[in-house]
Amino acid sequence: MDGSNLVSIALYVLLGWFLYTRFAPVKGLQNLNAAQFGERLRNAVVIDVREVSEFRSGHIPHAIHIPLGQLGGRIGEIPKQKEVLLYCKSGMRSKQAAKVLKKHGFAKIAHLQGGILAWNGSIQK
């Protein structure tokens, strides 16, 4: 095998690892549809992990805005004893946010499958 083949194999392995870590299911994360998410809103902390402009364009009422990139630094704002409901635009960033919360010891975490695009409840602007 020549050097270029080894480099190609290494790149494919790295790409596979990246895709797996990015899209793999998060252990213990509950995937909720819009109806299930809506039923739990009153007894949970709801966090919108989208960017500022996305949040300003409309969000689920009473949601706390903590963009994904700021979540690790603002973890102290989230009570561990309550269930945490996460959402983003499509469900990808909320899964990443769930990984961050799991690393910080949060146990009761769920996210809106399909993100706000799947939400059929009220929107606050």
The pLDDT score that the predictor gives to residue 20 is 57
Give CA 18 to chain center in angstroms.
Answer: 17
- For domain 27-118, which CATH number applies: 3.40.50.12280, 3.90.1170.40, 3.30.1490.190, 3.40.250.10? 3.40.250.10
Q: What is the pLDDT of residue 6?
A: 75
User: For the chain, which residues score pLDDT lower than 50?
Assistant: none
Cβ proximity of 116 and 34 under 8 Å: no
According to the model, what pLDDT value does residue 23 have? Answer: 60
The residues spanned by each domain of the chain are 27-118
Residue 2: predicted pLDDT: 67
The pLDDT, as a whole number, for residue 34 is 98
pLDDT at 21: 59
- Per-residue confidence (pLDDT) for residue 84, from 0 to 100: 98
Q: 21-39: buried (b, 16+ CB within 10 Å) or exposed (e) per residue?
A: eeeeebeebbbbebeebbe
Residue 5: the pLDDT is 73
Q: What pLDDT, on a 0 to 100 scale, did the predictor assign at position 113?
A: 95
